[in-house]
Structure 1
Amino acid sequence: MYSTLFFLLTFFSYRTGGNRPFNGRGPFGLGLDLDLDLSTVVRRVDPRFLSVTIDASLASQERFMLLLRSQRIRTLTKALSPAFLRFGGTRQDFMVFSPQSSQQPDADGSCSRVELSWWLEQKLKEEWIQHQLILLKEDQQKQYHRIQFTELTVDELNSFSSCSGLDLIFGMNALLRNTDNSWNSSNARSLLQYCESKQYKISWELGNEPNSYEKKAGIRVDGYQLGLDFSHLRKILSESKLYQDAGLYGPDVGQPHSHRVDLLKSFLQGGADAIDACTWHHYYVNGRDTSLDDFLDPEVLDTLAVKTNEVLEKVEQESPGKAVWLGETSSAYGGGALGLSDTFVSGFMWLDKLGLGARLGLEVVMRQVLLGSGSYHLIDDNLDPLPDYWLSLLYKKLVGPEVLNVSDSGRNKRVRLYLHCANRKSYARGAVVLLWMNLGRKLARISLPDLIANSTVDTFVLQSDQLGEEGLESRSVQLNGVLLKMVDNKTLPDLSGARLPAAGHLKLPAYSLGFFVFLEARASACS
């Protein structure tokens, strides 16, 4: 109670009333004058824009799939609906479906029934922590072993996604090859046959980062052949009564870099008609040699625009109008950067990617990873939500799919701003939400235009539980001065904003990020 009151008193002191002029300088650092357009929707993303992944490494020992029965995980995941749930990653191309008639008890029963006992959950969590050391060694040595999975993996994924309200995308193995290097679809047919017999609603991918097949498996597949493979899979799906209209996404190529661009181009020339959206992967930095400064560097964040525009241009050339998704993305590749990708500072990269990606024209962004190996997860090894989870949850609650134009005076590169219509499930028509972040060590001030200066504001300010630069590597986060944590396995905390009266300016605390919802903006684009 005291911390909430202190925050409100502090934040009220950060506002200046009326429309008095502000010279942009003073003890609080640079000020920014906003310019925005509330009349035009410049982009519209999928309602499932913020989506998540489960890394296929979870199935490397099939017993770990039982973690998806955890009530805690299901509570956290359901709160992110609507979203896609992608099951894939490096190890999907080493997974082979091996059906067994002696099946374990079905996981697709009542969603209200929690089937994972506390003692088994604890045992699996402890074993998973140890197993990740094996996975890490395989990644470092790039020596991967064939993974056999049964109906259990598919059952658990279907139960988890359907009970959580997410749309499942299953990544098939593309490294099963015939002697002529064409894709061998026999194992995929077996998987599809089982899924159809169970009436599972699933969309599909084929392969993960084909540009790296030679490095990780000694197999080279060019874009032309990959296009033929996807066309082959589309034909198989079209012969299925259940999956004839199912989504098919690919090629999940790595971000543009020399031959990867050529692979994407040649793939689209032959396989664009087979896919519903073109997917690619993006990471800012190498998790093995990055630094705290990288996570706060505006120039590093700006590299997303360069790569995205390159992909969008290539797709528009080869397949005009085709949707483009980030099929896998996070802060740092190589499993993330321990102590950075899983801490508060990661939120700057994540929120900027959501804001900038939507503005540039990406329709879906899939966060690596909800659950899996590495250091970039949303839920930690103890199944507790990390700072990027709470940021994702607030985004889902507040941000609508309509992207609006906003710009500023540009004098402070460490303040980054994006504008959307507010989520109509949370706010009335006409409300808008400003996504913002202050990457700097000084408090910043934004001057509001008349369009929104007279509006009541719901404020959602996220800060580390330890203020200052020392808190950037904390695994805890505060919303409006209150530490965020689950109440119990079935209950999330209250995420209400602090409601403030109209005023001409708002201030952004140092090293903070969040959302301002303008309730009476009366934006015609949002009506």
Structure 2
Amino acid sequence: MNRVVLLSLCFLWTRTGSSHRLLGPDSGSGSGSGRNSSGSLDVSVSVSVDVDLSSAIRRVDRRYLSVTVDASLAAEERFMYLLSSPKIRTLAKALTPAFLRFGGTRQDFMVFTPQGFHKDSGVTADPSCDGVELPSWLEDKLKKEWTQQQLILMKEDLQRKYTRVKFTESTVDLLHSFTNCSGMDLIFGLNALLRTADNRWNSSNARSLLQYCESRRYRMSWELGNEPNSYEKKAGIRVDGEQLGRDFTHLRELMSESKLYRDAGLYGPDVGQPRDHRIDILKGFLKSGARVVNACTWHHYYVNGRDASLDDFLDPVVLDTLTVKTNKVLQEVNLVSPGKKVWLGETSSAYGGGAAGLSDTFVAGFMWLDKLGLGAALGLDVVMRQVFVGSGSYHLVDDNLDPLPDYWLSVLYKRLVGPEVLKIEAFSNFVQSKRVRLYLHCSNTKSYRRGAVTLISMNLSKKPARISVPALVSSSTVEAFVLQSDQPGERGLYSRSVKLNGEVLKMVDDKTLPDLKGSRLPPAKHLQLPAYSLAFFVFIEAQAAACQ
């Protein structure tokens, strides 16, 4: 028997000091009056939501939220040593289970150049990972130099003039050590722009790399090429979809020669979001190569980082464009290869390296959390965030390797949200209701007992929202995790710090994250969602049949 829950959400004005206190010890930007600049009261908006707890509509991969390390980090091989930082490894562990994709624009300019030696400097596949630690003096030196390196990389991106990058065994060792010791599953992106005279993929360099990785017993998966739709602009080389599919088939044959990699994952084609000739590339690839990949990958960004605005990051219309793009890709894949998994192999807020002053601030969380919620509901199996560490302004950690707001949001998602997606529908006659975005999952069973559900919530409005919970769920204890900027009002949207239930989040030390505790609320009919906030509400005793 279906269990249908009816939630009613209402925007309310809240008097300062009233009994309707917002969640968290400090209500921050949501605690102001609901009067507008003219002194009159804001009009309330009502939203009704149907939720079915009887069965899951989808189930995503347990590594659904995954991350990337941009290949630009290896443009100068010494920067790969940053992945041995104790701080970056601590931060990475908190995001597991996850895939880590090593790739991006520069992967198609990287050539494996083995030196014929191997330095056992603690950077090995030793499962204990003892002794793998970057000295603090070297970490500080590399961080300073990386700041300058990014300027060089940005200039190359603007001019679209890329130099060939030679990398040795050291890059592979450092990368594998990082993923192995952090608990992530490595996906390595191979160079697809190494071509023969008749424009087929030249696999000789990849063969050399695979042989080395096999000799080290490095368990990993593979990709071939990054955004083939841009090859002509980047390198003056045009590769159509069918040839790309044949190239992937050749790589799969190469992998089948290896005992270690014959059953390893292969993912692609990492094409840009569907429009113009990108659709033709995707169709051609699926025709000749769909059968050899474990999942079909594509890339998505909402806006151009060079001219994106704050309004773009809060615009429900912009957020809803993901639906159109995702459905188009799913349609094309299902026509040729029904049941094939579809991944966002690279994604963030704004392309072109991100929007400076926006993609690395609190406001970016609305695009990120909505993409996670909407992507799972639409049928994406994995979403890979560009970038955990690398060039650009859409990273999860800053140049000092300190976590940014989207990092904390990602860790909370990992801890609270399970893979089962539940049906949720919102109804309203008011357009403003689109600024309250809701998704529902079973809760993560590593954190909560079976039957619990997690309501993923975000309020893109400057007005607080009130959630009225019906009797069926109001009898459940709730744990609330409300994220707000550390500064009030609109200026807080530009902040690079975030509060959880009123407490600013920061690492205790380089090897310790803070306790990410929820605010335990007794059974009640109403919950408050502050203005400009992101929240997870865990109904601990929901006893959802879908989650048993």
Q: Same fold (TM over 0.5)?
A: yes
Do structure 1's residue 233 and structure 2's residue 256 form an aligned pair? no
- Partner residue of 2:88? 73
- Partner residue of 1:406? 424
- Partner residue of 2:154? 136
| Whole-angstrom distance in 2 between the partners of 1:281 and 1:29 | 38
| Whole-angstrom distance in 2 between the partners of 1:10 and 1:331 | 29
The 5 Å alignment of 1:236-255 reads: 236-255=254-273
Using the size of structure 1 for normalisation, the TM-score is 0.95
| Whole-angstrom distance in 1 between the partners of 2:59 and 2:280 | 29
CA shift for structure 1 position 113: 1.6
CA shift for structure 1 position 9: 5.8
Do structure 1's residue 54 and structure 2's residue 69 form an aligned pair? yes
* Paired amino acid for 1:462: L
- Partner residue of 1:117? 135
CA shift for structure 1 position 6: 9.5
Indicate conservation of the 8 Å contact 2:25/2:502, yes or no: no
Instruction: Select which of 467, 472, 475 maps to 1:454.
Output: 475
* Paired amino acid for 2:48: D
CA shift for structure 1 position 386: 0.2
CA shift for structure 1 position 84: 0.1
Instruction: Select which of 345, 349, 355 maps to 2:363.
Output: 345
- Partner residue of 2:502? 481
| Whole-angstrom distance in 1 between the partners of 2:91 and 2:246 | 39
The 5 Å alignment of 1:22-171 reads: 29-106=44-121, 107-108=123-124, 109=126, 110-171=128-189
Residue-by-residue CA offset, 1:171-209 (whole Å, 9 max, x unaligned): 000000000000000000000000000000010000000
Q: Secondary structure at the match of 1:113?
A: coil
* Paired amino acid for 2:475: N
Indicate conservation of the 8 Å contact 2:481/2:536, yes or no: yes
Instruction: Select which of 296, 305, 310 maps to 1:292.
Output: 310
- Partner residue of 1:428? 449
* Paired amino acid for 1:524: A
| Whole-angstrom distance in 1 between the partners of 2:43 and 2:82 | 48
Distance 1:6 1:486, change over 3 A: farther
Indicate conservation of the 8 Å contact 1:28/1:445, yes or no: no
- Partner residue of 1:259? 277
Residue-by-residue CA offset, 1:46-77 (whole Å, 9 max, x unaligned): 00000000000000000000000000000000
| Whole-angstrom distance in 1 between the partners of 2:397 and 2:281 | 34
Residue-by-residue CA offset, 1:3-29 (whole Å, 9 max, x unaligned): xx9964667xx9xxxxxxxxxxx8683
* Paired amino acid for 1:80: L
Using the size of structure 2 for normalisation, the TM-score is 0.91
Residue-by-residue CA offset, 1:32-56 (whole Å, 9 max, x unaligned): 3332100010000000000000000
| Whole-angstrom distance in 2 between the partners of 1:449 and 1:248 | 46
Indicate conservation of the 8 Å contact 1:70/1:121, yes or no: yes
Q: Secondary structure at the match of 1:243?
A: coil
Indicate conservation of the 8 Å contact 1:281/1:326, yes or no: yes
Bigger Cα displacement from structure 2, 351-360 vs 405-414: 405-414
- Partner residue of 2:525? 504
| Whole-angstrom distance in 2 between the partners of 1:470 and 1:371 | 26
| Whole-angstrom distance in 1 between the partners of 2:50 and 2:187 | 39
RMSD across aligned positions (CA): 1.5
Instruction: Select which of 512, 527, 532 maps to 1:491.
Output: 512
| Whole-angstrom distance in 2 between the partners of 1:66 and 1:487 | 23
Q: Secondary structure at the match of 1:433?
A: strand
* Paired amino acid for 2:448: Y
Counting aligned pairs with the same residue, the percent is 71
Residue-by-residue CA offset, 1:198-242 (whole Å, 9 max, x unaligned): 000010000000000000000000001000000000011111100
| Whole-angstrom distance in 1 between the partners of 2:317 and 2:281 | 27
Residue-by-residue CA offset, 1:392-449 (whole Å, 9 max, x unaligned): 0000000000000112233311000000000000000000000010000001122223
- Partner residue of 1:323? 341
| Whole-angstrom distance in 1 between the partners of 2:22 and 2:318 | 35
| Whole-angstrom distance in 2 between the partners of 1:60 and 1:144 | 10
Indicate conservation of the 8 Å contact 1:31/1:447, yes or no: no
- Partner residue of 1:514? 535
Indicate conservation of the 8 Å contact 2:231/2:239, yes or no: yes
Q: Secondary structure at the match of 1:38?
A: strand
| Whole-angstrom distance in 1 between the partners of 2:55 and 2:130 | 43
| Whole-angstrom distance in 1 between the partners of 2:196 and 2:149 | 32
- Partner residue of 1:523? 544
| Whole-angstrom distance in 2 between the partners of 1:292 and 1:10 | 25
- Partner residue of 1:360? 378
Instruction: Select which of 449, 471, 479 maps to 2:492.
Output: 471
- Partner residue of 1:18? none
CA shift for structure 1 position 450: 3.0
* Paired amino acid for 2:451: G
- The count of corresponding residues between Structure 1 and Structure 2 is 511
CA shift for structure 1 position 514: 1.3
* Paired amino acid for 1:299: V
The 5 Å alignment of 1:163-202 reads: 163-202=181-220
| Whole-angstrom distance in 1 between the partners of 2:153 and 2:118 | 27
Indicate conservation of the 8 Å contact 1:356/1:418, yes or no: yes
Bigger Cα displacement from structure 2, 31-40 vs 74-83: 31-40
Q: Secondary structure at the match of 1:311?
A: helix
Indicate conservation of the 8 Å contact 1:32/1:445, yes or no: no
| Whole-angstrom distance in 1 between the partners of 2:474 and 2:448 | 18
| Whole-angstrom distance in 2 between the partners of 1:517 and 1:290 | 34
Residue-by-residue CA offset, 1:319-366 (whole Å, 9 max, x unaligned): 111000000000000000010000000000000000000000000000
| Whole-angstrom distance in 1 between the partners of 2:410 and 2:404 | 10
* Paired amino acid for 2:103: G
| Whole-angstrom distance in 1 between the partners of 2:462 and 2:48 | 20
Do structure 1's residue 415 and structure 2's residue 436 form an aligned pair? yes
Q: Secondary structure at the match of 2:219?
A: coil
| Whole-angstrom distance in 2 between the partners of 1:298 and 1:162 | 39
Indicate conservation of the 8 Å contact 1:459/1:497, yes or no: yes
Residue-by-residue CA offset, 1:282-314 (whole Å, 9 max, x unaligned): 000000001000000000000000000000000
| Whole-angstrom distance in 1 between the partners of 2:274 and 2:112 | 32
Q: Secondary structure at the match of 1:417?
A: strand
